[in-house]
A and B are shown apart, each in its own frame.
Chain A
């Protein structure tokens, strides 16, 4: 059962990559993504065992990934219709294949119980994403892809080195063999691992997966990749990829913490994570003010949210981890909804090609279409964590935990959040309510706006009326990974 949602996208990628017109491809892509989503739900009944088996964290984020992939694929239908002439049919085939590969790789990473497999999944996802960014074949897209490739490649190399060091550190406890690479075995035997090697490993893991999670100063690739690639693929679908990297860091952090807490030689993981988290918050807070391109802008905002999650993991303790995971869940929902709306907004103004996402081009959206404007505005607003956005709950938990566990860092955290939120909201007014460019006519809303509303509503429900099963699941994860 567990293999189905992982294998299906890879198999589908082969088919989609070889045959089909763009229109057939996009329908097939949507149908397949929907199927994968259902399969991720089905995995709850049979989480599997051995090399690939999903724990509660994997299940939860796997479902989220499936859901996002599904909604993105649905929104994709309209996008491809509009953007069809921009790419050759072969490239569209590649595009759809890459959609499926990224989905499959992300699910593989989430469900894998093996640190090597996790690394391989991240690598596949990175290569696929690099290819995806280069798809438009424009100089700036190639440049962005090149940047992504170099920085991502270095990150992957560092992550591999870290992975090997973890294996080495596990030798005293688990001995050689596959067992020393299993998360399940590692976390139960963490106290007996070689602490100082584990710390060294963690630094490499942090830099490796941190590059993938786009933590400052490892973030260099992300804004350009967001801005230059084909919109749905590199933006909406990338949220789950960031989550994958963050979850990887969280899992390794738990090893270090467990070793440290039980008196091992490992250092506490907190300071490393806090430094990177705060650096992300502040750099983004300052960088956002000068952004003119909306996709780059929200790329930076993704960096911010990775930073917040990492910060929460750095604070540690079940509640902060809970807050961090909740933040990731909600942020992914909101951000992918936002990008769906943003692509629609660009379509309202003529074209969804990269370069049509500048704020000056999109401004006064309410004069083009009210529903789109409100949905986009709502999503942007939700990013800031002001109520009624769901992120308020997660940020509230994180700040409160920070104050109780490490009061002094709550000041820079609060300041960083303030900076980012203000920088985001500064753009919201002109974007939604400003004067539209001349000759703007009202346009009808597209059906995918309902998807955005669904995303936002889910984010609110998940934060403020969390269903008991989800709460239990998240709580148990947070408790286990504290």
Chain B
């Protein structure tokens, strides 16, 4: 029962990441991300209940508050303010991206297969799911040109990390604290960046930066 429920949540997470990969529009991506974060929070609560670990509840609360609510709000604000409602152009055909996504999941499974996983509440499948989410998040980052979309990919990668972390038995609090710190700081810095980039490039599109790069030196 414990495992199957954890499983289910992992599955939802993976599915939403996969959908993220296939989304063209920023608004939809943010919604999917929100869904992901909420699922993650639920998974954290469930694991906390199963392992009776107070730390995991805390993680769940942080995830729910910051990732599930605050971050999507902020993202939507950016979309609204910079008028980014138009469709996101991708650097790669969707079909190809999806195909790659499937391949990545295959690799994740293949890699996790030989590990023994004895005496661990995290199953092989869970680890494979977490790994898949991490890899898919990275894939989203590399297939999008838009900075915001890349950030969302990055955030989804972090969700994968947290998913893996909450499954680890007795993982000291250090890790979760770090993840929270990372999300906070990362977004802080990102926010600063986004503002700066807006200052200088009048757009959130990273292609502006790439142009400078192309001039070479």
Contacts and interface: CB of A to CB of B under 8 A. Distances in A.
Do these two chains interact? yes
Interface of A: 114, 116-117, 119-120, 123, 127, 130-131, 134, 139-140, 142-143, 145-147, 149-150, 153-154, 156-158, 160-161, 163-165, 167-169, 171-172, 175-178, 181, 194, 196-197, 200, 265, 292-293, 296
A130 B182 CA distance: 14
A127 B185 CA distance: 8
A134 B161 contact: no
A358 to B, nearest CB: 8
A143 B112 CA distance: 37
Contacts, number: 115
A134 B196 contact: yes
A265 B127 CA distance: 18
Interface stretch (B10-18, B22-30, B85-93, B186-194): B186-194
B164 A139 contact: no
Contacts of B112: 200
A157 B185 CA distance: 13
A196 B116 CA distance: 8
The SS class assigned to the B binding surface is: helix
A157 B193 contact: no
Contact of A143 (B114, B171, B190, B212): B212
Interface in B47-85: none
B4 interface: no
Nearest to B169: A176
A265 B174 contact: no
Given A171-B119, A196-B114, A265-B114, 12 more contacts: A134-B193, A142-B197, A143-B213, A153-B186, A154-B141, A160-B175, A160-B179, A164-B175, A167-B168, A171-B169, A194-B115, A197-B117
Contact of A164 (B118, B161, B186): B161
Given A127-B189, A161-B164, A172 B118 contact: yes
15 contacts: A123-B182, A146-B193, A146-B209, A153-B186, A157-B157, A157-B161, A161-B160, A161-B164, A163-B175, A164-B175, A167-B168, A171-B118, A176-B169, A181-B174, A292-B217
Contacts of A293: 217
B106 to A, nearest CB: 15
A172 B178 contact: no
Interface string B114-136: 11111110100001000100100
A177 B174 contact: no
Interface of B: 111-112, 114-120, 122, 127, 131, 134, 138, 141, 150, 154, 157-158, 160-161, 164-165, 168-172, 174-175, 178-179, 181-182, 185-186, 189-190, 193, 196-197, 200, 206, 209, 212-213, 217
A116 B193 contact: no
A131 B116 contact: no
A197 B115 contact: yes
Which of B127, B154, B175, B181 is packed against the most chain A CB atoms within 10 Å?
Answer: B175
B61 to A, nearest CB: 20
Contacts of B118: 171-172, 194
Contacts of B158: 157
Contacts of A296: 217
A175 B169 CA distance: 9
Contact of B154 (A119, A154, A165): A154
Contacts of B119: 171-172
A164 B158 CA distance: 13
Nearest to A149: B189
A361 to B, nearest CB: 13
A197 B209 CA distance: 39
Contacts of B111: 200
A440 B137 CA distance: 54
B167 to A, nearest CB: 9
A150 to B, nearest CB: 7
A158 B134 CA distance: 9
Contacts of B178: 116, 119-120, 123, 160
Nearest to A290: B216
A346 to B, nearest CB: 16
Nearest to B165: A164
Contacts of A292: 217
Q: Which 3 A-B pairs have the closest CB atoms?
A: A176-B170, A116-B174, A196-B114
A142 B217 contact: no
A280 B117 CA distance: 35
Contacts of B181: 120, 123
Interface centre among A117, A134, A168 (most CB of B within 10 A): A168
Nearest to B158: A157
A130 B186 CA distance: 11
A114 B158 CA distance: 21
Contacts of A172: 116, 118-119
A146 B197 contact: yes
Nearest to A198: B115
A405 B50 CA distance: 50
A163 B131 CA distance: 13
Given A142-B197, A146-B197, A181-B172, A168 B154 contact: no
A171 B171 CA distance: 10
A167 B171 contact: yes
Contact of A168 (B120, B189, B200): B120
B193 A145 contact: yes
Nearest to A358: B217
A139 B189 contact: no
B170 A139 contact: no
Contact of A149 (B138, B141, B172, B190): B190
A210 to B, nearest CB: 15
Nearest to B190: A149
Contacts of B200: 139, 142
B138 A154 contact: yes
Contacts of B116: 172, 194, 196-197
Contacts of A157: 134, 154, 157-158, 161, 182
